[in-house]
Structure 1
Amino acid sequence: MNEGLRRAGARLGMAVWLLGVWLLLWGRVDALTLTGGVVAVLVAYAVSRLPTVPMVTRVRPLPLAVAAAEFAWDLLVSSVVIGWHALRAPGRVRGAIVEVEARSRSELVLLAVTTSVSLRPGTLLVDLDRDRSLLRIHGMPVRDPDEADSTREGVLRTERRLMRALVTPDDARRTEDI
């Protein structure tokens, strides 16, 4: 698909989303509300740089189900680990900021990865350098470089699962070698 056409489609997706929110806020659909919404969307695009809606070229159901199941398992394990440390020695639990260089360039996949990481007990997104796809994650417990590497590998595993499940134009070539 042509890059310009894909960008126009993504911008149109964001415009439709904004118009839908406008209509929900007003609580009714009539000619005046619809016209006002279109004007509001056009003004919003004229005065700001709105993000585009990330495009997904293909959703793979089986890898998505695997990613969801592994996320549920990660939630259980991390909850038990953090709970154990909180009960056993709450004052001695150490954390660290771990840098993770993501392979994905897709905003959608990075959003899914950072949301997944932040929902798990013991990990939290601190910073995202989108230009370099560099994530800074606060992880607990992290007492030594091996545990930092384990945290980093956990984030990269999550990213690989999501890249397999959600194929985007930005990552289409990268998913073949994962």
Structure 2
Amino acid sequence: MLRPGWQLLAYLSLLLAGTAAADDPFRIAVIDPNRIVEESPQYEAARNLLSAEAQEREAELAAQQEDIDRLENRLERDGALMRTDEITRLRNDIRARERRLRYAREELQADFALRQSDLRTKLVKQVEEVVEQVAKDNDIDLILSEGVVYSSARVDMSDEVIDRLKEVFEKR
């Protein structure tokens, strides 16, 4: 018995073979979606944008950590000379700053994940549009992507999709 993915592929092959005899032959192509995304200039631009945004916020967090480190050093260095209420106040201040820093780091991670997801969704939509246009321009009837076990270079149109994505990116 064939696995579900193979059943669909076998069904499509039979369907296309039966119909192809009556009309013009069907044209089938494959794409490598991971390669297309990773080699697109849009992906590189999104990655650079995310990196720049993260660096700014990480610099702020590093400055907050330095402040905490300074206060801890002061407590170690001067703690023996300080009054009890000063030590308590300084320890409370350090703990409060550490909590705020921990919260800020968690918020940065959540924001980064959300932003990354948004940019990936936009890129996937743009890739889909370009793939559809390339298929129409080349009279391709069926494009397969993930789950393809073998394809020859003759039917792989990933390079053409990447080239079109570069054109779209340069026109921005």
Which protein shows a greater Rg? 2
The structure that is helix-richer by fraction is 2
Q: Do both proteins adopt the same fold according to a TM-score greater than 0.5, normalized to the shorter chain?
A: no
Normalising by the residue count of structure 1, what TM-score does the alignment of the two structures yield? 0.28
The structure that is strand-richer by fraction is 1
- State the structure with bigger RCO (CA 8 A, min sep 6), 1 or 2: 2
Normalising by the residue count of structure 2, what TM-score does the alignment of the two structures yield? 0.29
